[in-house]
Structure 1
Amino acid sequence: MEQQLTFIGADGSPLFYRYRPAAQGDNQRAIVLFHRGHEHSQRMMFVYEELGLTDFACFAWDARGHGNSQGERGDSPSIGTSVADVDCFIKHIQREHGIAPENICVIAQSVGAVLVSGWLNDYAPRIRCAILASPAFKVKLYVPLARPALRLAYALRGNFFVNSYVKSHYLTHDPQRQQSYDNDPLIARAISVRILLGLYDLSQRIVANAHAITTPIQLLISGSDFVVHHAPQHDFYNNLGSHIKERHVFEGFYHDTLGEHNRAQVFEKMRQFIEQRFAQPVQVVDVTKNHLASPSRVLADKLAMPLSPYSWRGAYWAIQGAVIRLGAKFSYGLQTGVVTGFDSGSTLDYVYRNQARGENAFGDWIDRIYLNAVGWRGIRQRKANMEQAIQLASEKLRAANKKVHVLDIAAGHGRYILDAFAHGVLPDSIRLRDYSSLNVQAGKKMIEERGLAHIATFEEADAFNRDNYKKLKPRPTLGIVSGLHELFDDNDLVLQSLKGFGEAIAKGGYLIYTNQPHHPQQELIARALTSHKAGRPNWVMRCRSQQEIDQLVELAGFRKIQQWIDENGIFTVSLAVKGEEIAAGSLNHAPNEQFVNNSDTTVNW
């Protein structure tokens, strides 16, 4: 019998979902359904019924702003909030219904498929498989220059709504589906421009970075789709890092792939895919060697290659560098970056303070533009997310009657750590470390100014030397590493610091770690910004997928339990708990999981 329940979304809002227990079996496997834009869960339940997989439970949500869920119709605080809602929903299913992620198959259509794709990329969940039907990576707007016009209007007037041009006869040939769509009072025909533009921006990022997704994927494409473009769907498939993937194009099908008149052939493909995936162990691609060979490695190597000053690109980036050096004569922020490196602790501390300063009013203006760069906005959001993670970890430790002994191995000036404890209960001890004597001195001064010398110390130490983690007193219960691993592309080096944490922190302790899976200004940074590292004048970064850093953290004996990410998908903050000791060189996985080398690939057409 169907149950109508709620779960708590990313911002604390209760969101509606439907649940049907499995008619057969032990109720340990599930199909989770995500509907199209404008629609709701009830219009997806036929998918579960027609699949006929009665040994699976079924869950289907109403996205916020849709169906019976809260929120203005067709809207959300942001597209990132909706992606985070997906993560909250799956965690709720795991926690409240006892179904592990590796026993879940996700089926998502159109806008729902984009949200799920974003979740697979940004959160790296270990689900069994996903079926994506006609993902709306690029909606056909038909009006020339519609997106630039909407973006300009949004910038000038803020959020507003546009009505969908889509009629039911453009969605499906099935007259019953057409009629039900036309007569459904819960259909939300409007969509906010904030979500429409956010969907497009998210889609561009996900399609380009699909190599970070290794979940087994079945992609279903409608051959006569009037609503979304085909090309981005094919680009997504071709870029996928999944070793097991299928692409099926259904000629003559309209956008509602799962609700088309001849959908029996679609359901046959879906049923086969699901049964095959659950007949085999969970396949998890081992990406811990991506620093040696991967798309992110190739891109970093290309960005490290010098450009001829006589080429147009070489001249362009030379001019960009010159402009930055000129701006440093007026802007204190640019000046700090040029002198100490744009990846230095001093630069981060300046960005955290977010106070534009210059030699004059012109310099103040330049500095404000600099501080408002998308990467620095992400850094400040990372700081806010870090504070949430520290608060949550501290609460968990105290709930378990454990002391809160903090160890940060690359604290910079230590501002983000000290700010996190500026309000509320102080930890029992804070041990801050950094490789730079300049940062250590600045951090000690900040500790004194805040009157925390009775619990806080700051010392100079190499984060990658495992000997520096031994015999610490008091033994840390909360380890923190923020902004360090992103500066080093070698996973073997990163693993040294993570294993140091693994040896220092006892079972039941926590680790907070950051990551940078994506950066929209990666070439600007590599070509025009300087690094603090000796012998490397340019700041060339290799973005590390979330799955990659999560697997490295697992090798050190930790398991991720919570994650936060900024709207642009640049920086993540994750909270992991220390579990049982695991053998060195082996990933911590369940008995029904099979790890595969990154060179094995199965592709079905």
Structure 2
Amino acid sequence: MEWIESEGTFSSWDGAKLFYRSWRSSETTDRALIFLHRGHEHSGRLARAVQELGLGDFSAFCWDLRGHGRSPGDRGHAENYYDLVRDLDAFVRFVCVEHGISAENIVIAANSVGAVTACAWVHDFAPRIRALVLLAPAFRIRLYVPMAMPLLRMLLKFKEKAFVSSYVSAAMLTHDSEQRRLYRTDPLITRRISVNVLVEMHDTAGRIMDDAAAITTPTLILAAGSDCVVEAEAQRKFYRNLGATRKEMHEYPGFHHALLHEAGRDCIMEDIREFVIRSFTEDVDRSLLLNAHKGGAMRVEYDLLRQSTSALRTAFFSMQKYALRALGRLSRGIAIGLETGFDSGRSLDYVYEDSARGLGRIGRAIDRAYLDAIGWKGIRMRRRHLEKQLHVVMDNLEAAASQVTLLDVATGCGRYVLSVLKARKGEVDATLRDWDDGNLEQGRALASSLGLGRTHFERADAFDPESIRAVSPRPNVVIVSGLYELFPDNDLVLASLTAIGEVTEPGGYLIYTGQPWHPQLEVIARVLPNRDGASWIMRRRSQAELDEMVRSAGFEKIGMEIDPWGIFTVSTARRARD
């Protein structure tokens, strides 16, 4: 079969021009394989694998990671590992637009480090792709040096931009002598990797392994039986936790890490080929996501958080609660949380301000530590992402000569919206709603100080469908921020979203937030009170679950932002035109 290889560049999420290759045959249809190459390597190394797979009715694509191959950047470096996940999202969007391929007709095939990136993207961004093929995924790299990861973390404290050289030799990758020679002599192979990428990938992989139940995409895992580079048990843990109803794991005895370059790889190609073809004979059933509140891993997690724990852990959390009430009141932020609930609009408004206050030097120090908690860092990044998305959709509407009419169904104190309205010189008609009179009063005062005369505040329940349907004039931008993640019942959220879908102008936008993961979920549940004075217990929703509810309300997701810790998401969806 004759394959036509093309080269080009695409603009990634930050404007970086990354190099890519594509392979097409005369039999090409609207289906695509997108490959992610191993760490240290580049897209050219996959040309032979495309040929050997022989899927002529698929296009194939692969890009060179930033800092690799013919893409720009310091060799083996990225400012943040999560930049690579964002690059994958940008590349898939580019392929879909440039080549007219639906995401639902795309299969991701990723090797080693690339497989971790692919899993992080599928977990966090919840793309509606057809299937996922993971070859020797590097969830845990064998570092061999005792205490290697703590030492690397320590190195980063003294040197932000540090590098290590790969210990991996060609003989550790494959038994194929020709492939060994090609690896050793390839001038585009990058032998070094930045320490921050290595550490951040390790942390991301741990999060994804633990929460693999959130991944429902059909997945094939191929493991090398004699892998000296990555740990097989980490792959098995991911497989055990994986939430996909269709999943397979094959192990090849005696095979080394670089499965696509290994001797005797015909069986690997056959297994990939069979899985990919079968993936297009069975549709992915996403309807189960709408009922995830009735069962599944996150429901189990939620139920366990509502139950008592062991005596030792109860004592541990009781000590934290005592310290919070005794010393925490010296901190202004903790005092607000204790008074109004740590999930309240006023508490979040204080976190947004990010200015440490308290009684004396000790109180300010406690407050600074409180504001620097990873969850609050994520909240502030969520605000930046939300403001960015708001500007984008308003620019789109104004470019189409449409007057922006905005509705925020649960605005809190509205600080994030008001800052955007001020930047747009107050020329937007905005209705900001909330259930709490204190939030509304504070919001009105802030709007008045900013001179926003076209902003209207009103008391309303975001879960009252009739109240939402009665909004007039009909909005073309609707915001739901920091709300749905507080309530476990999907039926309640769906009723709200359905009403939003009905009231939003055709072609209008919905901006919504999610919290698919949190590293301090149990501490929050056992220690912090919510706005009702009860324990702040959250049922997480995967991004796939949240997106499916939004889709069922008549919206199509078109973009998403997420913090590098994977905690908070901000998504934009567009209502279908009538």
1:502-531 Cα deviation digits (max 9, x unpaired): 111021000000000000000110011111
Query: How far apart in 2 are the matches of 1:283 and 1:39?
Result: 35
The answer to whether the 8 Å contact 1:22/1:58 transfers is no
102-111 vs 326-335, greater mean Cα deviation: 326-335
Tell me which residue corresponds to 1:333.
333
> 11, 14, 19: which one pairs with 1:16?
19
The answer for unaligned runs of 5 or more in structure 2 is none
Deviation at 1:307, TM superposition (A): 3.6
- The equivalences for 1:55-204 within 5 A come to 55-204=57-206
- Residue identity opposite 2:345 in structure 1: G
Query: How far apart in 2 are the matches of 1:477 and 1:217?
Result: 38
Query: How far apart in 2 are the matches of 1:283 and 1:413?
Result: 39
Specify the SS of the correspondent of 1:352. Answer: helix
> When you count helix as a share of all residues, which structure comes out higher?
2
- Residue identity opposite 1:552 in structure 2: M
Specify the SS of the correspondent of 2:294. Answer: coil
The answer for unaligned runs of 5 or more in structure 1 is 582-605
Question: Residues 294 and 580 from structure 1, CA distance in 2 versus in 1: closer, same or farther, beyond 3 angstroms?
Answer: farther
The answer to whether the 8 Å contact 1:346/1:412 transfers is yes
413-422 vs 372-381, greater mean Cα deviation: 413-422
1:379 paired to 2:379: yes
Tell me which residue corresponds to 1:314.
314
Deviation at 1:426, TM superposition (A): 4.0
Tell me which residue corresponds to 1:494.
493
Deviation at 1:465, TM superposition (A): 0.3
> 209, 216, 219: which one pairs with 1:217?
219
Tell me which residue corresponds to 2:399.
399
- The equivalences for 1:425-504 within 5 A come to 426-453=426-453, 455-504=454-503
Deviation at 1:244, TM superposition (A): 1.0
Tell me which residue corresponds to 2:369.
369
1:458-491 Cα deviation digits (max 9, x unpaired): 1111000011122422211100000000110111
The answer to whether the 8 Å contact 1:327/1:334 transfers is no
Deviation at 1:214, TM superposition (A): 0.8
Tell me which residue corresponds to 1:43.
45
1:204-239 Cα deviation digits (max 9, x unpaired): 011111111111111000011000001110111111
Query: How far apart in 2 are the matches of 1:394 and 1:555?
Result: 24
Query: How far apart in 2 are the matches of 1:479 and 1:424?
Result: 17
Deviation at 1:328, TM superposition (A): 2.3
The answer to whether the 8 Å contact 1:405/1:427 transfers is no
Specify the SS of the correspondent of 2:94. Answer: helix
Specify the SS of the correspondent of 1:512. Answer: strand
Deviation at 1:155, TM superposition (A): 2.0
Query: How far apart in 1 are the matches of 2:515 and 2:470?
Result: 31
Query: How far apart in 2 are the matches of 1:446 and 1:335?
Result: 22
Deviation at 1:357, TM superposition (A): 0.4
- Residue identity opposite 1:60 in structure 2: C
Specify the SS of the correspondent of 1:291. Answer: helix
- Residue identity opposite 2:530 in structure 1: S
The answer to whether the 8 Å contact 1:517/1:570 transfers is yes
Tell me which residue corresponds to 1:272.
274
- The equivalences for 1:284-303 within 5 A come to 284=286, 286-303=288-305
The answer to whether the 8 Å contact 2:286/2:548 transfers is no
> 232, 240, 244: which one pairs with 1:242?
244
Specify the SS of the correspondent of 1:422. Answer: helix
Query: How far apart in 1 are the matches of 2:270 and 2:571?
Result: 39
Tell me which residue corresponds to 2:573.
576
Specify the SS of the correspondent of 2:342. Answer: coil
Deviation at 1:150, TM superposition (A): 0.8
Question: Residues 505 and 248 from structure 1, CA distance in 2 versus in 1: closer, same or farther, beyond 3 angstroms?
Answer: same
Query: How far apart in 2 are the matches of 1:533 and 1:493?
Result: 18
Specify the SS of the correspondent of 1:90. Answer: helix
Query: How far apart in 2 are the matches of 1:23 and 1:230?
Result: 39
The answer to whether the 8 Å contact 1:559/1:578 transfers is yes
Deviation at 1:156, TM superposition (A): 2.8
Specify the SS of the correspondent of 1:286. Answer: helix
The answer to whether the 8 Å contact 1:11/1:81 transfers is no
Question: Residues 425 and 89 from structure 1, CA distance in 2 versus in 1: closer, same or farther, beyond 3 angstroms?
Answer: farther
1:432-455 Cα deviation digits (max 9, x unpaired): 0110001010111111111002x1
Specify the SS of the correspondent of 2:496. Answer: helix
Query: How far apart in 2 are the matches of 1:398 and 1:239?
Result: 46
Tell me which residue corresponds to 1:549.
546
Sequence identity (%):
44
Deviation at 1:542, TM superposition (A): 0.8
Query: How far apart in 2 are the matches of 1:367 and 1:233?
Result: 41
Aligned residues: 575
Deviation at 1:282, TM superposition (A): 4.5
- Residue identity opposite 2:543 in structure 1: Q
- Residue identity opposite 2:251 in structure 1: V
- Residue identity opposite 1:15 in structure 2: L
The answer to whether the 8 Å contact 1:34/1:44 transfers is no
Tell me which residue corresponds to 1:354.
354
The answer to whether the 8 Å contact 2:555/2:574 transfers is yes
> 7, 10, 13: which one pairs with 2:10?
7
Query: How far apart in 1 are the matches of 2:205 and 2:463?
Result: 37
1:565 paired to 2:567: no
Deviation at 1:420, TM superposition (A): 2.1
Tell me which residue corresponds to 1:591.
none
More contact order relative to length (CA 8 Å, sep ≥ 6): 1
The answer to whether the 8 Å contact 1:511/1:577 transfers is yes
1:538 paired to 2:538: no
Deviation at 1:423, TM superposition (A): 2.1
1:338-380 Cα deviation digits (max 9, x unpaired): 1111101111000000000010011111110100000000000
Query: How far apart in 1 are the matches of 2:220 and 2:7?
Result: 29
Query: How far apart in 1 are the matches of 2:447 and 2:456?
Result: 8
Query: How far apart in 2 are the matches of 1:318 and 1:297?
Result: 25
Query: How far apart in 1 are the matches of 2:27 and 2:17?
Result: 30
Query: How far apart in 2 are the matches of 1:555 and 1:313?
Result: 41
The answer to whether the 8 Å contact 1:220/1:249 transfers is yes
400-409 vs 377-386, greater mean Cα deviation: 400-409
Deviation at 1:427, TM superposition (A): 4.3
Question: Alpha carbon RMSD of aligned pairs, Å?
Answer: 1.2
Query: How far apart in 2 are the matches of 1:331 and 1:471?
Result: 42
State the TM-score, normalizing by the size of structure 2. Answer: 0.98
1:94-123 Cα deviation digits (max 9, x unpaired): 011101111111110001000000010001
Tell me which residue corresponds to 1:388.
388
Deviation at 1:580, TM superposition (A): 4.7
The answer to whether the 8 Å contact 2:217/2:284 transfers is no
Specify the SS of the correspondent of 1:290. Answer: helix
